[in-house]
A and B are shown apart, each in its own frame.
Chain A
């Protein structure tokens, strides 16, 4: 067994317990796989929870069509190497209406291409439970969320109606039309995720490591020019910067940081030393006050 430090071992065991409880209690679970570091850890824990059997649920990726190319390549390689079932869903209504991160404000774009897309995919698959990689340390409304997070019909979240969760007991008995989001990484921090990736030697998307990449600086944020669809503003001249990402999403909405961290241990050191929280790099969360809570109430993740 790898030499996990004591609290990582505790967190790992807790996550495996959660996976098993959900798999035992729900009829049709699915794992929301968003390719980033948290999903990488989530998937690894799912494999541990059911080993030597395969995880008894498919992976679901909600593809906005604006993800980094490196993410899609990593996704396809992972799924094929581990022989997993992957469902890729895109909101084709949104695509037909050309909803994109340049012409539409982040709140509109996210609602249509992520939140609505997720609801469509969950409804189409008849899933009653969806595993997500959300952590309570990410953001203030996440800090209040349960491990089994119940959603009324329409996938909406009411923070006032959360079920009490006591001790290790997870009550997954669903009421009429209810579904649930399950968060096995609830008690992990960003630093825990990186330490775990290091200790377990997990492969992650190369975008987490510093490299010279083509970028522009817009409103003080570094954006990567990932493909020819990136719209440049007058006067913007893409140039190479040595950057990496702390969090991954749609490339026009995900800010990079300048960094020299090319190895895992350097990324971990940088994370532990970080003076800025991780979601500061997510442009969609700053769009309005309580942005994350609004999205969750509407059924985002």
Chain B
């Protein structure tokens, strides 16, 4: 696509928010269970829609011939399975990112692993997507893994899904069988918050209804996969979304410049508008939106900017700047739905940190209340959760942080849970309920501050290694105390 075509694509959808910068690009997730043929479907899409260069074409033809997995056919999955381990085992263990353009649109394809043990990689991929293709094998229909994937797509906020019923060639292009699968899936999808559900019968291996219209299925008169992808609207935000900008950094430069750097996560702000720091409640007026390309009059969702205020709010990274009327909650008790990503199951005694927008907050205590059953999609009472589970939980924070409900403002209502000792990302979640003030540090919480740790850490100085060791010891002590039933908060700032 050339640049003229790009600006055409931009003006192609007049109905969307004029400030939405993403309309020309679509981020597309593909998922399904093992052997449904995901990699083949994407390979076919790239191959037929001209996303493959000549040397890649030659390499794939050569390798397909050597392996002869599909008889004389081309093995399109070779385009996607990039890692040596994957080529050896013939499975997709991690998400692969592919990029291609047609005359109409720029696409990012996020190919996610089908194998159940790599569901966490799938959740990672899904969180970046505007739309998901859920692939099912026409011979087997909707499976447990399809339900799990649909549940994860829903959890991470995907609103639009395409059910691609693949391998139609294997069931003699049967409309009856296809309609049964479609109806089965629509029943399941009713449990979720999807706004658009489209289903398309395809055969990735032959290319039917992927880019070219199938001649074998005259009974299907909907769009081909590519036709739909080229015309569907990407994620859009409501016109009047409240303004939020989580502060990433405070930038200081010569001649007294002091600005708050961050990416606007929702809404629009103009020079002269009043802003408030959600945590302290202090307000200021926006006097300047600074960028290297010159000052701006306004900034909207998706813009990476630096805001200069008329008064110094004494805030730092982790603060959320918001409009004065509709503010985030300054919360220290949360309820959330999360997908557990770590191989180590949830441990109520371990130390966790909550990373939300730009803040990192210690978790004082956390409990699981329910797990989603992937057969029925109902939630059942539970107190434990492990890798690949979707769980509802309650989290008490060591201090309050500015947060929104995910259903209202996804980018200030999502979080990942971090293991305080090894730094691993153990879960990704969305805020479903918040409360202020309930978990204020009371008499029953032991605060591990510098005074209490001074003896244990007397041998440590200020080097980076020593500071890391200080942190490690504090976390280990907290684990011991929690296992003895003592609620603990680590606060080494005081």
Do A and B bind? yes
Residues of B within 8 A of A276 (CB): 53-55
Closest Cβ–Cβ distance, residue B469 to chain A (whole Å): 9
Residues of A within 8 A of B121 (CB): 162, 164
Stretch at the interface among A14-22, A61-69, A93-101, A211-219: A14-22
Residues of A within 8 A of B6 (CB): 5-7
Residue pair A166, B302 in contact (C-beta under 8 Å)? no
Residues of B within 8 A of A173 (CB): 353, 360, 418, 423
| Most A C-beta atoms less than 10 A away, residue of B82, B93, B296 | B82
Given the known interface contacts A24-B248, A140-B83, A275-B53, the answer about A167 and B411 at a Cβ–Cβ threshold of 8 Å is: yes
From B83, B257, B294, A141 is in contact (CB under 8 Å) with B83
Q: Beyond A167-B414, A293-B83: 5 further Cβ-contacts under 8 Å?
A: A1-B293, A7-B25, A23-B249, A48-B304, A166-B127
Q: Mark B7-42, 1 if CB is under 8 A from A, else 0.
A: 101100000000001111100000000000000000
Residue pair B416, A1 in contact (C-beta under 8 Å)? no
Residue pair B124, A165 in contact (C-beta under 8 Å)? yes
Stretch at the interface among B95-103, B198-206, B220-228, B448-456: B95-103
Residue pair A195, B291 in contact (C-beta under 8 Å)? no
Complex CA distance for A16 and B292, rounded to whole angstroms: 12
Complex CA distance for A277 and B56, rounded to whole angstroms: 7
Residue pair A174, B55 in contact (C-beta under 8 Å)? no
Residue pair A13, B127 in contact (C-beta under 8 Å)? no
Complex CA distance for A128 and B464, rounded to whole angstroms: 10
Q: Mark A261-301, 1 if CB is under 8 A from B, else 0.
A: 00000000100101111001000000001100110000000
Residues B108-127 near A (CB distance < 8 A): 108, 120-121, 123-124, 127
From A10, A21, A141, A274, B53 is in contact (CB under 8 Å) with A274
Give the interface residue-count category, chain A: 35 or more
From B94, B294, B424, A144 is in contact (CB under 8 Å) with B94
Q: Mark B363-395, 1 if CB is under 8 A from A, else 0.
A: 000000000000000000000000000000000
Residue pair B422, A175 in contact (C-beta under 8 Å)? yes
Q: Mark B280-317, 1 if CB is under 8 A from A, else 0.
A: 00000000001111101000001110100000000001
Closest Cβ–Cβ distance, residue B158 to chain A (whole Å): 12
Complex CA distance for A176 and B423, rounded to whole angstroms: 9
Give the interface residue-count category, chain B: 35 or more
Residue pair B99, A175 in contact (C-beta under 8 Å)? no
Interface residues in chain B, defined as those with a beta carbon under 8 Å from any beta carbon in chain A: 1-3, 6-7, 9-10, 21-25, 53-56, 80-85, 87, 93-99, 101, 106, 108, 120-121, 123-124, 127-128, 156, 248-249, 251-254, 257, 261-263, 265, 290-294, 296, 302-304, 306, 317, 341, 353, 355-358, 360, 410-411, 414-416, 418, 421-425, 428, 464, 468, 472
CB-nearest residue of chain B to A13: B304
Residue pair B415, A1 in contact (C-beta under 8 Å)? no
Complex CA distance for A165 and B121, rounded to whole angstroms: 8
Residues of B within 8 A of A175 (CB): 421-424
Residue pair B95, A144 in contact (C-beta under 8 Å)? yes
Looking at chain B's contact residues, the main secondary structure is: mixed
Nearest 8 pairs of A and B residues by beta carbon: A140-B82, A173-B423, A16-B304, A51-B292, A166-B428, A275-B54, A175-B422, A166-B127
Residues of A within 8 A of B253 (CB): 52-53
Residue pair A176, B83 in contact (C-beta under 8 Å)? no
Residues A199-233 near B (CB distance < 8 A): none
From B1, B99, B357, B411, A136 is in contact (CB under 8 Å) with B99
Given the known interface contacts A10-B21, A175-B423, A276-B55, the answer about A51 and B306 at a Cβ–Cβ threshold of 8 Å is: yes
Residues A138-190 near B (CB distance < 8 A): 139-144, 159-160, 162-169, 171, 173-176, 178, 186-187, 189
Residue pair B99, A159 in contact (C-beta under 8 Å)? no
Residue pair A137, B124 in contact (C-beta under 8 Å)? no
Given the known interface contacts A7-B6, A186-B97, the answer about A164 and B123 at a Cβ–Cβ threshold of 8 Å is: yes
Closest Cβ–Cβ distance, residue B321 to chain A (whole Å): 15
Given the known interface contacts A16-B304, A52-B251, A166-B123, the answer about A272 and B291 at a Cβ–Cβ threshold of 8 Å is: no
Given the known interface contacts A173-B418, A276-B54, the answer about A50 and B251 at a Cβ–Cβ threshold of 8 Å is: yes
Looking at chain A's contact residues, the main secondary structure is: loop
Given the known interface contacts A164-B428, A166-B156, the answer about A7 and B106 at a Cβ–Cβ threshold of 8 Å is: yes
CB<8 Å pairs between A and B, sample of 11: A7-B24, A7-B106, A23-B249, A24-B249, A28-B464, A52-B253, A128-B464, A143-B82, A164-B416, A165-B425, A174-B423
Residue pair B10, A272 in contact (C-beta under 8 Å)? no
Residue pair B53, A24 in contact (C-beta under 8 Å)? no
Residues of B within 8 A of A128 (CB): 464
CB-nearest residue of chain A to B101: A191
Residue pair A20, B124 in contact (C-beta under 8 Å)? no
Complex CA distance for A272 and B248, rounded to whole angstroms: 35
CB-nearest residue of chain B to A52: B253
Residues of B within 8 A of A23 (CB): 249
Residues of A within 8 A of B22 (CB): 6-7, 10
Residues of A within 8 A of B108 (CB): 187
From B127, B263, B358, B424, A163 is in contact (CB under 8 Å) with B424
CB-nearest residue of chain B to A274: B53
Residues of B within 8 A of A189 (CB): 99
Closest Cβ–Cβ distance, residue A114 to chain B (whole Å): 20
Closest Cβ–Cβ distance, residue A127 to chain B (whole Å): 11
CB-nearest residue of chain B to A5: B6
Complex CA distance for A187 and B249, rounded to whole angstroms: 23
Closest Cβ–Cβ distance, residue B248 to chain A (whole Å): 4
Q: Mark A77-99, 1 if CB is under 8 A from B, else 0.
A: 00000000000000000000000
Closest Cβ–Cβ distance, residue A201 to chain B (whole Å): 12
Given the known interface contacts A176-B468, A274-B53, the answer about A169 and B416 at a Cβ–Cβ threshold of 8 Å is: yes
